[in-house]
Amino acid sequence: MKLNLKRPLAFFDLETTGVNVASDRIVEIAILKAMPDGSELIKTLRINPEMPIPLESSLIHGIYDEHIKEEPTFKTVAAEIAEFIGDADLAGYNSNRFDIPVLLEEFLRAGVDFDMFDRKFVDVQNIFHQMEQRTLRAAYKFYCNKDIINAHSAEADITATYHVLLAQLERYAGVDFEDKQGKISQPVLNDVDALHLFTNMNKPVDFAGRMVFNDKDEECFNFGKHKGRTVEQVFDLEPSYYSWMKQGDFPLYTKKKLDEVWTRWNKKKELTRAARQPQQPAPAPARPQAPKPVTQQKQQSKPAVSVTPDMLEQLKMKFGK
């Protein structure tokens, strides 16, 4: 099928250092420019992002720091990219929420006025999500070929959910699945442990998604300016972030899990401080002391009394002598 185009439609995709639109940078851009006459033009460029590529991102797109260290920065190729796209409309997969905003950020940094006026944007993911709805009703129809009677009543919905899972186990038994790292497995098994692992791929800490576990099972923030950093790293850099979250409008369970990390972090700090304190030398054992010579008190001697004849006479009378 040929696209019915009035002007070119530029499909483009970005590989980046991460998923933060404001701070992450492009490491590769590929553009397929579909022309109204049915021809296609393709341009692919690798970009030096002027910042290290996190390992978790490299594992997904396969581009490491050594691959782009000699490549041009976006600023040096921004005009070339803008000229190639020209007045084309833009298309991509999840492009409205990610690729277009990131591309515009890069153009602004480079000082290139990429005019967005009167362009059309086609996000293929949105077509998919809207036409293949992800509601329980759509899943029940897709997997069980039935309509939910009394939809949105708790009992009808939960019964439908149960039957959808049974149908999924039958449909996907032995079916291959390829994850973002290219690892192929057959994860849909009739086993709760296996289903738990497969349906919790984001590994949430607090279920609200404010914190998630990374590949090392460390709690990481999943929002805001510290997104991607471990919670303990943020406490090291900005301990007041804990108080801000405790006072903020976050779910109680999020705050409970935050408290657990805070308590553990403080204990580690106390142990570190104790280990750094200089050890006090143990007191030397006391040497036994020789007993002091007992000095006898000098008795005060009474002055000598002269013996008189009367005294001798009294003694004779007393003792009968």
Determine contact, residues 40/32, Cβ cutoff 8 Å: yes
Range(s) of the chain covered by CATH 3.30.420.10 = 9-128
Please state the rounded mean pLDDT for residues 272-279.
82
pLDDT digits (tens, 9 = 90+) for 212-233: 998 899 999 999 999 999 999 9
State the pLDDT at residue 318.
62
The 3-class secondary structure across 79-103, one letter per residue, is HHHHHHHCCCEEEECCHHHHHHHHH
Rounded CA gap, 71 and 67, in Å? 8
Rounded CA gap, 263 and 269, in Å? 10
3-class DSSP assignment, residue 36: coil
State the pLDDT at residue 288.
64
Rounded CA gap, 130 and 147, in Å? 19
In this prediction the pTM is: 0.61
In the structure encoding, which two tokens stand for residue 233, read together? Answer: 């790293």
pLDDT digits (tens, 9 = 90+) for 46-67: 999 999 999 999 998 999 999 9
Please state the rounded mean pLDDT for residues 237-262.
93
Which residues share a beta bridge with 184? Answer: 178
In the structure encoding, which two tokens stand for residue 159, read together? Answer: 């019964």
In the structure encoding, which two tokens stand for residue 83, read together? Answer: 């000229």
Which one-letter DSSP state was computed for residue 298? P
For residue 7, what pLDDT band results from cuts at 50, 70 and 90? very high
At the topology level, CATH places domain 9-128 in Nucleotidyltransferase; domain 5 (3.30.420)
